[in-house]
Amino acid sequence: MLASKRLGGRVLKLGMQGPDVAALQKLLADLGFDPGPPDGEFGWLTYEALREFQRAMRLQVDGVAGKQVFALLQDGNRLPTRRVHIVAPGETPNRILRRYGLRPEALYAYNSSRSLKRLYEGQEIILPERLVIAYMAGGDRSLKSLLWHHRFLSGVAGLWLQLGERQELVGSIPEPVAEAARERDLFLLPVLTNLGEGGYEGRLFRRAVGRRGPRQKLIGQLRKALGGAHGLILDFRGLALGDVSSIASLLDGLMPLRRQLLLFLTLAARDLGRPWRGMFGDDYWALAQKVDGLILRFDDELKAPSRPGPIIDDGRLREVLARVLEAVPAWKVILRLPAYGWQWTGRPLKRLGLWPALAWENPEPVPYHQALSLAQEHGWGDGGGRVDYGQENPRRVWIETVKTMAAKASLVNKYNLAGIAVFAMGLEDPRIWKEIGANHLIRKAGNNW
C-alpha cells in the first residue's frame, strides 16, 4: 500500500521502492542531478543525487526525501536553474570558461576541484543560472544603460505603481522600457509601493490593503495593470507590526496571479538579519512559500552611516546574510545591492583650540558618473572608491565601484542564492555588468521560469 502513494505521501530513503521513488528520480534528473534510470528503486545513485540536491539547496544533507525536499522539487520550475555542460573530447576547464564567458570562481563553486583536474568525455559540469534584475532610475541615462547592457540582465524593474490617496492604483509601466524588455527577452517587473508625496506612508498601505473590500479592489486593478508584465514586486515600507497580517492576506489574494506571473516580496535585510524577532516573527520561512522570491534590500535601508564609508561593506553584508539564511530559504533570496554612492560635507570640530577632526554630515546620494567627473578634477582615493575635494567646506564621496560590486556579487554563488538586483540603472559604474556576467550565467524570460 505504501508503495502506491504519490510523491510526498511518505518519507523516501535508501532501499525503498515504488512509483513515488520514480517520480523523485524524474524531478531530480530534470534539475540536472543524476539519479540513474527512473526505475522506482531508491539505490545509491539516487541517494547521491539527492544529497547533491540537498547540498546545493542548503538543506540538511542526509539523503532522505522529506517535506522540505518534496516542496522544493515540486516547485522546481521556480528554482535557480542549472545548466549541465557535457564535456567534449579534449575539452579543458579553461575552454569551458571561455565558452560561457565565466571566471574560474563560477565553475569551482559547484564542481569539486578534484573533478575538474582530469576531465573526461561525457562528464557533467554544473553551471547554475541566476536572475539579474536591474532597477530603472528613470531618464535617458537609465534607458541607454539598459540598451547597452541588456545581455547581462534577466529583467528590469521600476517604481512604476503606487497606492493612491483614494485606495486606487496609480501609475503605469513606461512604454519605452516595456518595448525594450520585450525585444530583448527580459522579465518586466513593476514594483508596487506605498510611496506618497511625503515618502513611504503606512496609512496608504492600511487604506488599500488593511480591509478585505479595498484589498480585493486593488487585486482587480493589478490584474489590468500587469498586462504584458512578467511579474510583480511588492515593496511596502513604514509599516507597523499590526500590518503583517494584511501583507499575508494580500499575498494569499495574489496566489491566482502567481500561476501566470512571478511574485516577489521586498524585505529590509537589516531587519531580517537581526538576531531578535523581526516584523514577521519567526515565520519568515512560511512567508517565503507565498512568493517566488524575496528581494533583500542592502542599499537604502543601510544608507548614510554616521561617517563616510561604503553603504554596506563586504564584511557587514556577509554577517547580515548569514543570519538571514537562518530564517529564509537561500534559493529564494535575491540580493538588492547599491550601484551609487554618498557625499558628506565636513564640519571642523574645535577641541582645546585645535582643529583635529571633522564632523561629517548632510549625506546625499551621488551616481557614479558624477563621482567620475569629480575624480577627473580632484583624483581618486582609496583604490578608486573615494573622492575628496573642497577646502573651506571639505567634501568626501564614497562610491560603489566594479571592485566592491564584484565582491558582493560573488556571494550569490557562494550561498546558492536566486540572484542579484542592482539599484539602479543609470547610476552605476557601467563596468559592473561585465563583472556580473563573468560570475553568473544569466537567466532570461524565455527560459520558462
Query: 215-243, pLDDT tens digit by residue?
Result: 999 999 999 999 889 999 999 988 887 78
Asked whether residue 406 is assigned to any structural domain, the reply reads no
pLDDT at residue 95 in the model: 92
The CA distance from 378 to 27, in Å, is: 58
Q: Are residues 303 and 244 in the same domain?
A: yes
Q: Alpha carbon of 338 to those of 187, 298, 327, 335: distances in Å?
A: 20, 7, 23, 10
The CA distance from 324 to 335, in Å, is: 11
Asked whether residue 405 is assigned to any structural domain, the reply reads no
Q: Are residues 384 and 428 in the same domain?
A: no
Q: What are the two backbone dihedrals, phi and then psi, of residue 8, each rounded to the nearest 5 degrees?
A: 105, -10
Asked whether residue 408 is assigned to any structural domain, the reply reads no
pLDDT at residue 231 in the model: 94
Q: Measured on CA atoms in the order 133, 134, 135, 140, is the torsion positive or negative?
A: negative
Q: Are residues 113 and 149 in the same domain?
A: no
Greatest alpha-carbon span in the chain: 89
Q: Are residues 187 and 213 in the same domain?
A: yes
Asked whether residue 404 is assigned to any structural domain, the reply reads no
Helix (H) or strand (E) holding 253: helix 244-253
Instruction: List pLDDT tens digits, range 23-45.
Output: 999 888 877 677 888 899 999 99
Show the cell assigned to 293: 522570491
With b for 16 or more beta-carbon neighbours within 10 A and e for fewer, the 203-227 pattern comes to ebbbbbbbeeebbeebbebbeebbe
Torsion of CA 63, 67, 73, 78, to 10 degrees: -130
Asked whether residue 266 is assigned to any structural domain, the reply reads yes
Amino acid identity, position 70: F
Q: Which of 268, 250, 410, 264 is nearest to 327 (CA)?
A: 268
pLDDT at residue 3 in the model: 45
Contacts of 274 (CB under 8 A, 6+ apart): 323
Count structural domains, the chain. Answer: 4
Q: Alpha carbon of 261 to those of 189, 232, 253: distances in Å?
A: 9, 7, 13
Cβ-contact 201, 244 below 8 angstroms? no
Q: Are residues 434 and 301 in the same domain?
A: yes
The CA distance from 411 to 436, in Å, is: 11
Q: Which domain holds residue 172?
A: 130-335+413-447
Show the cell assigned to 286: 512560511
pLDDT at residue 250 in the model: 93
The CA distance from 295 to 153, in Å, is: 16
DSSP-derived letter for residue 199 is E
Per-residue pLDDT of the chain (449 residues; tens, 9 = 90+): 344 478 888 999 999 999 999 999 988 887 767 788 889 999 999 999 898 888 777 678 899 999 888 877 876 545 567 788 899 998 998 999 999 888 887 787 777 777 788 889 988 888 888 899 999 998 899 999 999 999 999 999 999 999 999 889 999 999 999 999 999 999 999 999 999 888 889 999 999 998 999 999 999 999 999 988 999 999 998 888 778 788 889 999 999 888 789 999 998 877 665 544 445 555 677 788 889 899 998 865 445 556 788 888 888 888 888 888 877 888 889 999 989 988 999 887 766 555 567 888 888 889 999 999 999 999 998 878 899 998 778 999 999 888 888 888 888 888 888 899 999 899 999 999 999 988 888 888 765 44
The CA distance from 263 to 255, in Å, is: 9
Residue 185 exposed, middle or buried by CB count within 10 Å (0-12, 13-18, 19+): middle
The CA distance from 103 to 85, in Å, is: 16
Q: Are residues 218 and 312 in the same domain?
A: yes
Q: Which CATH number goes with the domain that contains 105?
A: 3.10.350.10
Show the cell assigned to 429: 559604474
Q: Are residues 14 and 88 in the same domain?
A: no
| Crossing angle between the packed helical segments 432-439 and 402-414, to the nearest 10 degrees | 20
Contacts of 254 (CB under 8 A, 6+ apart): 219, 222, 232, 263
pTM > 0.95: no
Asked whether residue 403 is assigned to any structural domain, the reply reads no
Q: Are residues 104 and 142 in the same domain?
A: no
Cα-to-chain-centroid distance, residue 251: 19
Q: Which CATH number goes with the domain that contains 21?
A: 1.10.101.10
Length, in residues, of the chain: 449
Q: Are residues 358 and 386 in the same domain?
A: yes
Q: Are residues 302 and 440 in the same domain?
A: yes
Asked whether residue 114 is assigned to any structural domain, the reply reads yes
Asked whether residue 407 is assigned to any structural domain, the reply reads no
The CA distance from 447 to 14, in Å, is: 33
pLDDT at residue 364 in the model: 87
Q: Are residues 323 and 355 in the same domain?
A: no
Q: Are residues 138 and 104 in the same domain?
A: no
